[in-house]
Structure formats: C-alpha cells, structure tokens
Amino acid sequence: MSITIAKLDEKNRLVGIEQVEEPSPNDIVVDSNIDLPLDGSYKYEKEMNAFFPLGYGFGPLSSKSPISNQYALYLIIKNLNNPPEELKLWASWYELNYKRQDEEHRARKTILERAR
C-alpha cells in the first residue's frame, strides 16, 4: 500500500504529491484525495503542521509607506502627553541620528514625484 506525501519547493510551497511505500521522517504525509491546488499557492507551516494559502491573513501591500517606521514611531512619541523616559531617550537618539536623513529622503521623494 502506498502513502501520499507532499512535494514542496525551496520555499515550502506545495507543488505536487508523490506516492511512496515508506515515508521518510522529513516527508509530509497528506490525504491521498488532497484537494489543495498543486501550483505553489499554498505554503506548508511546519510549526502548525498545516498548509496555508500564500498571503493568508494579509494581502499584498498596495504601495510602499510614505514614511519610515522609525519616523512614524518618533512622531507618535513626540505627540504623547507624558511618554515614559525610555521613549524620550529613544526620540532624542533618533533626532541625533536619523531625523534629518528621513526628512531629506521624504523631501527628495516629493521633488521626484512633482517632476513626473
């Protein structure tokens, strides 16, 4: 009696099935009537021992964020009424190290967009 195992690509996407007599310890045994598409649109998550559709839980980004995550965090901290001392220290560190860089990047981006 043969056993059906999943064939995965290098990114753990389901791309086929195979019949074997004896599965190896690393093989993923699946139902012989598996109804998932074998086109790489499902990814195997070992920790959960399950297949999930790619993009599960969130779709692709519509575009790149107009500001960096660091700058967004900085703005949040600066607008808090009484942030913890650790956040004040981080905001000061950010101002010394990255604020001008982020502002210059945003200004360059605005100039390029206007030139189009």
Q: What percent of the chain has pLDDT above 90?
A: 61
Within-domain flag for 61: no
Average pLDDT, the chain: 87
Within-domain flag for 63: no
Instruction: Note the pLDDT of residue 100.
Output: 78
Within-domain flag for 7: yes
pLDDT in tens, 67-80: 888 889 999 999 99
Range of the domain at 9: 3-53
pTM for the structure as a whole: 0.48
Task: Look at the block and give the residue holding tokens 């059906």.
Answer: 4
The DSSP symbol for 81 reads S
Within-domain flag for 27: yes
Within-domain flag for 62: no
Within-domain flag for 96: yes
As for how many domains the chain has, the answer is 2
Beta bridge partners of 5: 18, 29
Any long-range contacts for 46-51 (C-beta under 8 Å, 24+ apart)?
46/12, 51/6, 51/14
